[in-house]
């Protein structure tokens, strides 16, 4: 049985409305700001104002993150340097505010900085003092705030500091022995100090030692000055006598011809060039030269130089206190990573320099800790193997940063000598031949005259002075050479005590001022 068909409904559904027939609501435009309206009139595209910001790409995020981190670390480091400087300025400012007499002089310290091995810039250590202990960052404000004077002495070659210290000590000893007269100004100067006052001012000041290599040169010069003779010796004259005796620049002797050849009747030989002597042109002044009588030479014993018989003291007198400043000069490609690390950590050097300057200004000292000598060592031995080095072990780790090429310095000096003397043989032959008119000069020699024999001797003396000084200086500062010591120095040296750290309250106050 089938169901009946559905009956149609009387109500019908509304027909669908097309999307395009739907009326759009009016969109109210966002009011433009005055700045945007003004910028649109300048010709800037409106799409630029409607552009929405989006996150940068991965590579840009890496670049921005790394760059901002490096710049932020650099800015933080330099701000810390300024903060440290202001901290120590405030700590020492009261020293400059103390009242003094009109003729009183401030404390004066002497700063020694030797040349760093393997670096052509000889003033690296003194520049380190100017940067971290005197100028830009730290110690000029601190020294000025504390009314402290200073003198910087640098060495251009190895051994210059040792020679300077030894000569200064000898001058002081000669003044004390009455061998030299103290310098007197042409006019009366109320600020002129006597030698005793100068020495007392030096003892009240101090000596700043920049690096271990400077300590070795200072100790060597100090011992040499107090233990050697007071006789004045010109190093150039002394070396010239040594060079004149070695025979390197002597003229080779001419070979004698055999006697049977060229004999005349009788015993008179033929006047060969070897028997005629040198050919010199006649001069009418020869007779005048012969007529001039030479002054008679003294025949008796030569009197000794003043000061040659003055014995050295049994005990070296007290010296100015020492301030040890660690210094390491990074030279070479292998140390570039450490150079980059130091560039972003200047605050550590500034902190160390500020503490050193603060210790010097407070003027608190302790006795120098001498090295422990072996049981049977000589009392006057300068370089022995110490059991314990004491204060002479200062900054030993810095010697590990010497360039490896410094070990071959003696070989380089020997090679330079050999090459120089090989080339000097031909130069001497040319100079002597032209001086004796044995040949005419060439066109090149007329344009550029070769050096004379006198000029060659002067050039040799200059080179030997440099080579000899460098060799002696390297023997003092080389890593395997200990710092020199003499038992006569016991009780003569003092060392500045490290300054205590600043209290936390001062750091908080300075940080609030920075904020």
Show the 3-state SS of 30-91.
Answer: CCCCHHHHHHHCCCCCHHHHHCCCCCCCHHHHHHHHHHHHHHHHHHHHHHHHHHHHHHHHHH
Compute the distance between CA of residue 20 and CA of residue 217 in angstroms, rounded to an integer: 99
Task: Return the closest-CA partner of residue 163 out of 242, 244, 236, 246.
Answer: 236
- Specify the pLDDT at position 194: 80
Residues 159-173 have a mean pLDDT of 93
Specify which of 51-55, 145-149, 381-385, 467-471 reaches the highest per-range mean pLDDT. Answer: 467-471
Both tokens assigned to 395:
């900054």
181 CB-contact burial (10 Å; exposed 0-12 / middle 13-18 / buried 19+): exposed
Residues 483-509 have a mean pLDDT of 78
Q: Quick check: 13 pLDDT over 60?
A: no
Q: Which residues pair with 149 in a beta bridge?
A: 108
- Specify the pLDDT at position 9: 54
Using DSSP's 3-state secondary structure scheme, residue 365 falls into strand
- Specify the pLDDT at position 463: 93
Compute the distance between CA of residue 264 and CA of residue 505 in angstroms, rounded to an integer: 110
Place of tokens 């020495």: 199
Kindly state the DSSP code that residue 269 receives in the 8-state scheme.
B
- Specify the pLDDT at position 376: 58
Contacts of 421 (CB under 8 A, 6+ apart): 248
Kindly state the DSSP code that residue 129 receives in the 8-state scheme.
I
Compute the distance between CA of residue 425 and CA of residue 420 in angstroms, rounded to an integer: 9
Looking at the chain, the number of H-run helices and the number of E-run strands are: 17, 6
Tell me the pLDDT tens digit for each residue of 179-197: 888 777 777 777 777 878 8
Compute the distance between CA of residue 471 and CA of residue 481 in angstroms, rounded to an integer: 13
Of 198-212, 314-328, 493-507, where does mean pLDDT reach its minimum? 493-507
- Specify the pLDDT at position 264: 46
- Specify the pLDDT at position 6: 57
Whole-number average pLDDT of the chain = 79
Q: How confident is the model at residue 97 (pLDDT cuts 50, 70, 90)?
A: confident
Q: Quick check: 66 pLDDT over 80?
A: yes
> Is 115 in contact with 327 (CB distance < 8 Å)?
no
Compute the distance between CA of residue 472 and CA of residue 469 in angstroms, rounded to an integer: 5
User: Reading across the β-sheet that carries 322-325, which strands appear in turn?
Assistant: 149-154, 108-113, 206-210, 322-325, 494-496, 365-367
Q: Quick check: 71 pLDDT over 90?
A: yes
Kindly state the DSSP code that residue 137 receives in the 8-state scheme.
T
Both tokens assigned to 484:
């020199």
How far is C-alpha 331 from the geometric centre of its chain's CA atoms?
A: 13
More confident residue, 501 or 332: 332
- Specify the pLDDT at position 254: 58
Q: Quick check: 342 pLDDT over 50?
A: yes
- Specify the pLDDT at position 59: 94
Q: Quick check: 265 pLDDT over 80?
A: no
- Compute CA distances 291 → 283, 294, 295, whole Å: 14, 9, 12
Tell me the pLDDT tens digit for each residue of 422-448: 999 999 999 999 998 888 889 998 999
- Specify the pLDDT at position 292: 43
- Specify the pLDDT at position 493: 94
DSSP strands (E only) in 270-419: 322-325, 365-367
How far is C-alpha 61 from the geometric centre of its chain's CA atoms?
A: 44
- Specify the pLDDT at position 260: 47
Q: How confident is the model at residue 12 (pLDDT cuts 50, 70, 90)?
A: low
Kindly state the DSSP code that residue 405 receives in the 8-state scheme.
G
Compute the distance between CA of residue 218 and CA of residue 490 in angstroms, rounded to an integer: 16
DSSP strands (E only) in 279-371: 322-325, 365-367
More confident residue, 384 or 208: 208
Tell me the pLDDT tens digit for each residue of 101-142: 777 788 889 999 999 998 888 888 888 888 876 543 344 556
Compute the distance between CA of residue 122 and CA of residue 133 in angstroms, rounded to an integer: 18
Of 310-314, 408-412, 453-457, where does mean pLDDT reach its minimum? 310-314
Q: What share of the chain is helix, strand, coil (3-state, %, to 5)?
A: 50, 5, 45
> Is 160 in contact with 476 (CB distance < 8 Å)?
no
Task: Return the closest-CA partner of residue 327 out of 166, 477, 107.
Answer: 477
Task: Return the closest-CA partner of residue 169 out of 278, 40, 320, 26.
Answer: 320
- Specify the pLDDT at position 388: 78
Q: Quick check: 492 pLDDT over 60?
A: yes
Tell me the pLDDT tens digit for each residue of 283-332: 444 443 444 444 555 554 555 566 667 788 899 999 999 999 999 999 88
> Is 320 in contact with 202 (CB distance < 8 Å)?
yes
Residues 392-416 have a mean pLDDT of 91
Compute the distance between CA of residue 162 and CA of residue 221 in angstroms, rounded to an integer: 4
Q: What global pTM score does this model have?
A: 0.76
* φ, ψ at 209 (rounded to 5°): -110, 115
- Compute CA distances 18 → 13, 23, 322, whole Å: 15, 11, 100
- Specify the pLDDT at position 232: 86
How far is C-alpha 421 from the geometric centre of its chain's CA atoms?
A: 31
- Specify the pLDDT at position 207: 94
Q: Quick check: 403 pLDDT over 70?
A: yes
Query: What percent of the chain is predicted at pLDDT more than 70?
Result: 74
- Specify the pLDDT at position 368: 94
Both tokens assigned to 306:
């003043």
């Amino acid at each position: 049985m089938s169901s009946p068909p559905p009956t149609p409904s009387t109500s019908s559904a509304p027909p669908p409305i097309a999307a395009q027939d739907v009326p759009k609501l009016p969109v109210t435009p966002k009011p433009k700001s005055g700045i945007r309206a003004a910028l649109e009139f300048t010709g800037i595209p409106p799409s630029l104002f409607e552009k929405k910001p989006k996150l940068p790409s991965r590579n840009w995020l890496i670049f921005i993150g790394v760059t901002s981190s490096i710049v932020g670390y650099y800015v933080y480091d330099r701000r810390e340097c300024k903060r440290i400087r202001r901290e120590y300025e405030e700590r020492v400012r009261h020293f400059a505010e103390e009242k003094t007499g009109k003729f009183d002089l401030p404390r004066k310290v002497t700063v020694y900085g030797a040349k760093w091995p393997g670096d052509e810039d000889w003033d690296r250590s003194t520049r380190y003092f100017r940067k971290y202990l005197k100028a830009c960052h730290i110690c000029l404000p601190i020294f000025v705030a504390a009314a402290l004077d200073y003198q910087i002495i640098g060495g251009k070659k190895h051994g210059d500091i040792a020679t300077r210290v030894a000569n200064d000590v000898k001058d002081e000893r000669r003044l004390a022995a009455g061998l030299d007269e103290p310098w007197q100004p042409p006019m009366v100067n109320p600020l002129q100090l006597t030698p005793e006052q100068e020495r007392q001012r030096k003892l009240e000041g101090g000596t700043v030692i920049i690096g271990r290599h400077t300590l070795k040169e200072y100790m060597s010069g100090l011992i040499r000055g107090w233990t050697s003779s007071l006789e004045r010796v010109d190093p150039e004259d002394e070396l010239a006598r040594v060079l004149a005796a070695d025979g390197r620049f002597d003229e080779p002797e001419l070979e004698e011809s055999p006697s049977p050849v060229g004999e005349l009747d009788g015993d008179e030989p033929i006047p060969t060039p070897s028997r005629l002597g040198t050919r010199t042109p006649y001069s009418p002044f020869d007779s005048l030269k012969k007529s001039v009588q030479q002054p008679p030479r003294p025949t008796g014993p030569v009197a000794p130089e003043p000061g040659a018989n003055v014995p050295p003291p049994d005990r070296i007198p007290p010296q100015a206190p020492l301030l040890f400043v660690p210094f390491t000069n990074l030279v070479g490609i292998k140390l570039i990573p450490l150079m980059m690390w130091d560039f972003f950590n200047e605050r550590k050097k500034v902190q160390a320099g500020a503490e050193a300057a603060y210790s010097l200004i407070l003027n608190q000292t302790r006795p120098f800790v001498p090295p422990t000598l072996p049981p049977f060592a000589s009392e006057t031995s300068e370089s022995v193997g110490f059991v314990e080095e004491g204060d002479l072990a200062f900054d030993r780790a810095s010697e590990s940063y010497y360039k490896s090429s410094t070990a071959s310095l003696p070989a380089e000096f020997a090679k330079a000598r050999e090459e120089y003397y090989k080339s000097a043989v031909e130069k001497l032959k040319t100079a002597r031949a032209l001086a004796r008119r044995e040949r005419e000069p060439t066109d090149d020699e007329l344009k550029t005259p070769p050096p004379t024999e006198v000029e060659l001797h002067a050039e040799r003396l200059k080179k030997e002075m440099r080579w000899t000084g460098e060799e002696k200086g390297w023997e003092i500062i080389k890593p395997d050479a200990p710092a020199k010591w003499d038992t006569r120095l016991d009780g003569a040296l003092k060392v500045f005590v490290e300054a205590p750290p600043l209290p936390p309250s001062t750091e908080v106050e300075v940080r609030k001022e920075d904020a």
